[in-house]
Amino acid sequence: MENTDMKQIQWFPGHMAKTRRLIGANLKLVDAVTEIVDARAPLSSRNPEMNSMTRGKPRIVLLNKCDLADERATQLWINYFRKNGAEAIAVDCKSGKGLKSFLPAVKTKVLKELIEKRERGGMVGASVRLMIVGIPNVGKSSLINRLAGSKRAKVEDRPGVTRTKQWVKLDSNTELLDMPGVLWPKFEDQEAAIRLAFTGAISDDILDIETLAMKLLVYLKENYPQSLTERYKIEMDAEASGLELLEAIGKKRGMMIAGGEINTERAAITVLDEFRSGKLGRLTLELPPKE
């Protein structure tokens, strides 16, 4: 992908340092870290410093929005994370699908040794504490609401109340630490930033919307050509450029402006909206690196 017209994504070094400190300080209070990522782009939607920040704590990765991701690719990602020392499961926090296996996976896999050790020491049923981390928009609130439902105090919604860390009770002996700090995405890796922009996790305006849609169309042409032919009923030329694809879609949808020109901006908005809402099918934007 070309990076010529990328704008720098703004993030604040002060906030980053504060979040880093918060995670470091609270890590000693928990037994494991739950990391939530977007199943369509599991590496691009991770915080770049997560491994070093969580310093060898047992980890479980939740591949969220699996309803929007390619099932085959999600399985490859699950294998990838498991090979790299973390438990991983696919979940859909919008419908709740897959969440039933979350706590059993924590207790029988991620923290199996610790729980057995505690039991040997006579601490049967001792509380298990988890920290939840994830960059914005991956579905952290949806997850907590699904797991804790109405039990969760909505502190952040009350005006004038400073959002502090909260323990959310998940079952009789499991608590989840919801941290107030915002984790930054992989904004220095421009390809990762573009994938996050495709999903809508970071603002569209890192690139103009037409460039973004054209890059997505080229990726889909190369990886999921059927999703484009089925949705837009366009002829697919293997050599077609992003602009040609965008124009073909605009034309098919009758998106014209005065003078008979195609309204590529409207077409771009449509393509991105339809990708984000799953209308183009279940699509994944990156595969695990070859090992």
Q: Which is nearer to ligand G4P, 67 or 274 (CB)?
A: 67
Nearest residue to 217 via CA among 236, 196, 193? 236
Q: What angle do CA 276, 60, 203 make, to 5 degrees?
A: 30
Which residues touch 28 (CB under 8 Å, ≥6 apart)? none
Give the nearest distance from C-beta 220 to ligand G4P in angstroms. Answer: 18
Give the nearest distance from C-beta 251 to ligand G4P in angstroms. Answer: 29
Give the nearest distance from C-beta 68 to ligand G4P in angstroms. Answer: 5
Work out the angle between the directed axes of helices 225-232 and 209-223 (0-180°, nearest 10): 110
Give the nearest distance from C-beta 145 to ligand G4P in angstroms. Answer: 8
Piece of 41-49, 60-68, 70-78, 223-231 that binds ligand G4P (CB under 6 A): 60-68
Q: Which is nearer to ligand G4P, 67 or 191 (CB)?
A: 67
Chain CA centroid to CA 183, Å: 12
Give the nearest distance from C-beta 49 to ligand G4P in angstroms. Answer: 18
What 3-state DSSP class applies to 58? coil
Helices (H), 2-159: 13-26, 50-53, 71-83, 102-105, 112-120, 140-148
207 lines the binding site for ligand G4P (CB under 6 A): no
Backbone torsions φ then ψ of 83, nearest 5 degrees: -65, -30
**Of 118-157, which residues contact ligand G4P (CB under 6 A)?**
134, 136-142
- In the stretch 163-182, what mask flags binding to ligand G4P with x, by CB under 6 A? --------------------
Give the nearest distance from C-beta 224 to ligand G4P in angstroms. Answer: 17
CA dihedral 8, 211, 39, 270 (to 10 degrees): 130
Q: Which is nearer to ligand G4P, 59 or 282 (CB)?
A: 282
Q: Which is nearer to ligand G4P, 137 or 190 (CB)?
A: 137
Which residues touch 166 (CB under 8 Å, ≥6 apart)? 152, 153, 155, 177, 178
- In the stretch 64-103, what mask flags binding to ligand G4P with x, by CB under 6 A? xx-xx-----------------------xxx---------
DSSP character for 72?
A: H
For ligand G4P, the binding residues (CB under 6 A) are 64-65, 67-68, 92-94, 134, 136-142
